[in-house]
A and B are shown apart, each in its own frame.
Chain A
Amino acid sequence: MRRSIPLAAIAGVTLALAACSGSGSGSGSTASATASAKPTLSGTLTMWVDETRIDSMKPIVDEFQQQTGVKVDLVQKVSGDIRTDFVSQVPTGQGPDVIIGAHDWTGEFVNNGVVATVQLGDKAKDFSKSAVSAFAYNGQQYGVPYAIENIALVRNNKLLKDTTAKTFDDLVTQAKTANTPFSVLIQQGDKGDAYHLYPLQTSFGAPVFKQKDDGSYTNEIGMSGDAGTKFAAYLQKLGKEKVLDASIDGDKAKQAFLDGKAPYIVTGPWNTTAFTKAGMDISVLPVPSAGGQEAKPFVGVQGAFISAKSKNPLLAQEFVVNFLTTEKVQTELYKSGGRLPALTAAASKVDDKVLAGFNAAGSTGAPMPSIPEMGSVWSFWGTTEVQLINGQAADPAGAWTTMITNIQNAIATKK
């Protein structure tokens, strides 16, 4: 699909934490004398996590149990099924109390009535604004963020030391001086990968949906018209020049970069851990513009949702709203998961060069739209792009316009 998140989680954070009073500020143990300061809650929460996130969650829930006395049953679900299973099992009462996932699940969950609302209250301002709004839908908050991720341009410093290119074309020209089989790797695959091409697309001024002033999306397609067709023609050009290749999927792109077969790759923090582990010297830079405007990647936000049918609503809220939002927990999750914390206080203390690079590249990006119709958009979008790249669609403007019509029809019939 559009992206994979093989998270090489480094678990094993040692814990030693004084009880946190329920006041929500997470400010230490000054109130421990009063009766309510050491809450001795009881009960069990069931929490669903996929295999990419479970290792970093384990120490966190242990800590929660130590602090509150609430046991958390971590259930590992397959990442391909967790979202569907949640939607189909919550109505039967068999679902979990809490699910850890990505912000773009919000629309589907709300549309099916399977998530509870959360109230961050004053805590909302302690978070990066776009991270909180990523979990909002129709003006209501449904999830609590803990990590932010986005893609950027990663350079192999052994092959190229410096990047002066201001445009993507210059970047390709410069990359070719490294004399490697590939210049700039952008993963595709049979079904395309619109996610990894999005920075190039936005540089033509063609966002997938139009945005309101507050950053939230309208359901009006933004990539139609001239800007979109120019991008389509550009894709075809990159395909002809063999910069982009449909047969290079995520694994192949990663391997080629690891093998030193390309000076640049457009990828996210889920892969850089493997690069640095392999002893590579890398730098993370923003993707240069291809169409004249700024290249903005999609921003993905990780967070926690509460089931609409949780039998332990208070305990679930305690975990999600009061525990997961503390600076200590967000920092621990950053250390084990390698993603930028969503909490500003925790994020400001991150001194990792690679993550700082991703952060800079994503600072202007917008969250991926979470409307349920996004499913139809992804598949048409990726397929058309891959057909432009491999030359199956000869007329870029026509193919792009047909794609827009098809997406609009798909969205219209879903209502």
Chain B
Amino acid sequence: MSHQGTQVEIPDEAPPRTPSGRRTGVGDTSHARSWSRGFFVKLAVVAIADAVSVYGILTAVAVQSWGVAAFLLVALVAITWVYFSRRGLPAKYLLPGLLFLLVYQLFVMGYTAYVAFTNYGDGHNSTKSDAVAQILVQNEKRVEGSATYPLTVVDKAGTVGFAVVVDGKAEVGSASQPLTAVDGATVDGGKVTAVPGWQVLDFASIAGRQDEIVNLRVPFSSNPDDGSLRTQDAQNGYLYRSALTYDAAADTMTDTSTGTVYRPDSRGSFVSPDGTALTPGWRVAVGFSNFTQMFTDSRLSGPFTQILVWTFVFAGLSVLTTFALGLFLAITFNDPRVRGRRIYRSLLILPYAFPAFLSALVWRGMLNQRFGYVNEVLLGGANVPWLTDGTLAKVSVLMVNLWLGFPYMFLVCTGALQSIPTDIIESARMDGASPFRIFRSMTLPLLMISVAPLLISSFAFNFNNFSLIYMLTGGGPSFTGTPVLIGHTDILISMVYAVAFGSGLKQYGLASAVSILIFIVVGAISWWGFRRTRTLEEL
């Protein structure tokens, strides 16, 4: 190691500028290898992180989640390398942030994008193999009028079989061997208790081989039409016949009584030639159909424009009203002539301190037409339909959002006002500018430099302010007679919720696709807004 290299590292890595550190001579005084207290702390922290990763990897492998296992492995290697290598210095600061970004942001976004291209939702809930298994189970029906067979689970050299009493005689069979009578079996109370050549399984061994026993089908006779014996509780056997059979090679389901063949289609279902689909289906990729549905489905495209306009009005007015009120209050309470400013300021921040969804629920109660505080007490028993009339509901939503939102604007405006140098305002006043003129030409433009980006983010937030709408009005009052149940105060995101989940059938694919579309809209507006704010800075 050159002396220079050590010199470069010291300023970044801090302490070991001690004479003893230098005297080690070899020049390698990296924090990673000096036996200082910091090193041991680091060793302990990295060891814990590694231990957690190893545990995670083992768990992930055990449940065969290869993606998670691979991610954790990479993280493990990265953590160990970065914190013990001398070259990974900048990464030491970035790595934790990067990992959290990956897990909480990129993964979620990637997964949403993936779901948007599938038909994941009710009826297409799982994998194809799960669907095939379930279709077979659901279509395996008990032979009508057949008896209940008290059953004993037996074992011969690892092969499980059932022993039952048929017409007073003990019979034994396994998956490959239909039930046949055996001599010398002991029967007690209609139940076989011992069979020569077979070992009766006790409950402990039964509990250990549950899947094997539940999945066992013992043919009742050599004639497959007689059905087969199966048990669900290892105590009673019933005769079942399958109404459908699955041909794994041809990938088709066949109805055993009618001969109808069901083939898999591109939408993830087995479908017969006449169009009947078997349930459940499975998850498949469906391309862009979730994205186009919003525009091609007439039930959705009709109200879409109306909702879109209201969403912009709602987000825009929310920002404007809260900003106007917040700024007005900030200027008022920024004036040194106001007494008790601190108390007022603390009180004004209160609405901001309550969880928004809670406040929305409280407001919903207060605005109730018949029992609400506003009508009953404040308006002396008036009958104003605050939340049940279309237009008034819109006004109510904006008013409540004003109440919820102005403290934030008040806070940021107060902060920004205090950072404006008082001398330029002073000089303007000396020059004889009126207070309004000072506000218009000096305070506001200077304020906008720091506040404009916050206004844009506030717009983006309100554009997707689902919890307010959902808690306050639920989108209502509903439009009369529309083919999708949405209402006067629904914004885009709550409309998506109503369409994708409100109908009782969940459509995760559609919901993901539309939320991506909304993200693009909000993203574009924010990008445009930030570009515009840059011109403000050139003031």
Residues of chain A whose beta carbon lies under 8 Å from any beta carbon of chain B: 22-24, 31, 34-36, 39-43, 84, 87-88, 90-91, 93, 108, 110-114, 116-119, 121-122, 138-140, 190-191, 245-248, 252, 308-309, 311-315, 317-318, 321-322, 372-380, 383, 387, 390, 392-393, 399, 402-403, 406, 409-410, 413-415
Contact partners of A247 in chain B: CB under 8 A: 368-371, 388
Instruction: Report yes or no: B122 in contact with A390, Cβ–Cβ below 8 A.
Output: no
Which chain A positions have C-beta within 8 A of B41?
A: none
Q: Are B232 and A91 in contact (CB under 8 A)?
A: no
B214 interface contact, C-beta 8 A: yes
Assess whether B125 is in contact with A315, with CB atoms less than 8 Å apart.
no
The stretch among B254-262, B499-507, B531-539 that forms the contact with chain A is: B499-507
Beta-carbon nearest neighbor of A252 in chain B: B371
Contact, CB under 8 Å: B207 / A42 = yes
Tell whether, in the assembled complex, residue A111 and residue B280 are in contact, meaning their CB atoms are under 8 Å apart.
yes
Q: Is the beta-carbon distance between B481 and A399 smaller than 8 angstroms?
A: yes
Residue on A nearest B213 in the bound complex, by CB = A314
Find out whether the CB atom of A111 lies under 8 angstroms from the CB atom of B137.
no
B503 and A410 contacting across the interface, CB-CB below 8 Å = yes
* Residues 207-220 of chain B, each 1 if its beta carbon lies under 8 Å from chain A, else 0: 10011011000000
| Beta-carbon contacts under 8 Å, B128-150 to A | 130-131, 133-135, 137-142, 148, 150
Interface 0/1 of B482-500, CB less than 8 Å to A: 1101000000000000000
Option from B139, B148, B233, B387 in Cβ contact (under 8 Å) with A122: B148
A-B contact pairs, 9 of them (CB 8 A): A39-B203, A91-B126, A93-B63, A108-B504, A113-B126, A113-B130, A191-B478, A315-B207, A376-B504
Please pick, from B135, B210, B299, B477, the residue contacting A312 in the complex, using a CB distance under 8 A.
B210
The verdict on A112 contacting B125 (CB below 8 Å), with A315-B207, A375-B503, A380-B485 known, is yes
Interface residue B235 (Cβ < 8 Å from any Cβ of A):
yes
Residues of A within 8 A of B280 (CB): 110-113
Residues on the A chain within 8 Å of B142, using CB: 119
Q: How far is the CB of A262 from chain B (nearest CB, A)?
A: 14
Query: Which 8 pairs from chain A and chain B are nearest by CB?
Result: A375-B504, A113-B134, A91-B126, A113-B280, A112-B125, A247-B370, A402-B481, A317-B233
Question: Does B166 sit within 8 A of A, measured CB to CB?
Answer: no
A108 and B121 CA atoms in complex are apart in Å by 11
**Given that A93-B63, A190-B387, A314-B207 are known contacts, is A23 also in contact with B485, CB under 8 Å in the complex?**
no
With A390-B388, A409-B299 already in contact, the answer to whether A24 and B235 are too (CB < 8 A) is yes
Q: Does B188 contact A (CB under 8 A)?
A: yes
Smallest CB separation, B298 vs chain A (Å):
10
Q: Which residues of A contact B210 (CB under 8 A)?
A: 311-315
Chain A residues near B150: list those with CB within 8 A. 23
The verdict on A372 contacting B478 (CB below 8 Å), with A113-B279, A140-B138 known, is: no
Indicate with 1 or 0, residue by residue over B454-487, a CB within 8 angstroms of chain A CB atoms.
0000000000000000000110111011110100
Q: Which residues of chain B come closer than 8 Å to A41, judged between CB atoms?
A: 203-204, 207
Distance A377 CA – B504 CA, assembled complex (angstroms): 9
Instruction: Please tell me which one of the listed residues A23, A24, A138, A372 contacts residue B504 in the complex, with CB atoms under 8 A apart.
Output: A372
Give residues of chain B (163-215) contacting chain A, Cβ–Cβ below 8 Å: 188-189, 193, 202-204, 206-207, 210-211, 213-214
B525 at the interface (CB under 8 A from A): no
What's the Cα separation between A114 and B133 when bound, in Å? 11
Classify chain B's interface size.
35 or more
Residues of B close to A39: CB separation below 8 A: 203
CB < 8 Å A-B pair total: 171
Q: State the CA gap A199–B338 with chains docked (Å).
A: 64
Asked whether A321 and B232 contact (CB < 8 A) given A36-B203, A314-B213, A379-B485, the answer is yes
Residues of B within 8 Å of A372, CB to CB, are 122-123, 504-505
Q: Is the CB of B480 within 8 A of A119?
A: no
CA–CA, A138 and B139, complex, Å: 9
* Cβ contact of B477, chosen from A40, A373, A392, cutoff 8 A: A392
The answer to whether B232 touches A392 (Cβ under 8 A) is no
CA distance A372 to B503 in the complex (A): 10
> Shortest CB–CB separation between residue A392 and chain B, in angstroms?
6
The CA of A106 and the CA of B67, in the complex, are separated in Å by: 33
What are the residues of chain A within 8 A of B126 when measuring CB–CB? Answer: 90-91, 112-113
13 A-B pairs besides A113-B130, A114-B125, A315-B207 with CB distance below 8 A are A36-B203, A41-B207, A113-B279, A117-B138, A119-B238, A191-B474, A247-B370, A308-B130, A314-B210, A373-B504, A375-B503, A379-B502, A393-B480
Q: How far is the CA of A111 from the CA of B281 in the complex (A)?
A: 8
List the B side residues contacting A116 at CB < 8 Å: 137, 232
Q: A87: nearest residue on chain B (CB-CB)? A: B125
Bound-complex Cα distance A112 to B138 (A) = 11
Q: How far is the CA of A375 from the CA of B135 in the complex (A)?
A: 23
Which chain A residues lie closer than 8 Å to B135 at the CB level? 113
Say whether A121 contacts B238, CB under 8 Å: yes
Q: For residue B418, which residues in chain A have a CB less than 8 angstroms away from its CB?
A: none
A111–B371 CB distance below 8 A: no
A308 proximity list for chain B (CB < 8 A): 130, 133-134, 137
- State the CA gap A311–B127 with chains docked (Å): 18
User: Given A139-B141, A375-B505, A387 and B478 touching (CB < 8 A)?
Assistant: yes
- Cβ contacts under 8 Å, B123 to chain A: 111-112, 372, 414
Residues of A within 8 A of B481 (CB): 393, 399, 402-403, 406
Cβ of A85 to closest chain B Cβ, rounded Å: 12
State the Cβ distance, B201 to closest chain A Cβ, in Å: 11
Distance A252 CA – B364 CA, assembled complex (angstroms): 14
Instruction: Give complex CA distance A93, B373 in Å.
Output: 49
A23, A403, A410: the one within 8 Å of B235 (CB): A23
Q: A34-B188, A110-B138, A139-B141 are in contact. Are A314 and B204 (CB under 8 A)?
A: no
CA distance A314 to B209 in the complex (A): 9
Chain B residues lying within 8 Å of A322, measured Cβ to Cβ, are 233, 235
Known: A314-B232, A372-B504. Is A111-B122 also a contact (CB below 8 A)?
A: yes
Which chain B residues border A93 with CB–CB below 8 Å?
A: 63
Q: Which residues of B contact A138 (CB under 8 A)?
A: 138
Q: CA–CA, A121 to B474, complex, Å?
A: 46
User: Is B368 a contact partner of A110 (Cβ separation < 8 A)?
Assistant: no
Q: Please indicate the chain A residues that have their CB under 8 angstroms from the CB of B504 in the complex.
A: 108, 372-379
CB-CB < 8 A to B193: which residues of A? 34
Query: Is the CB of B234 closer than 8 A to any CB of chain A?
Result: yes
Contacts of B279 in A (CB 8 A): 110-111, 113
* CB of A292, distance to nearest CB on chain B (Å): 28
B277 CB within 8 Å of chain A: yes
Cα distance A372–B507 in the bound complex, in angstroms: 13
Residue contact B388 to A190, C-beta cutoff 8 Å? yes
A40 touches B138 (CB 8 A): no
Most chain A CB neighbours (cut-off 10 Å) among B122, B188, B207, B474: B207
User: Does B125 contact A119, Cβ atoms closer than 8 Å?
Assistant: no
Is residue B236 contacting chain A, with contact meaning CB distance below 8 A? Answer: yes
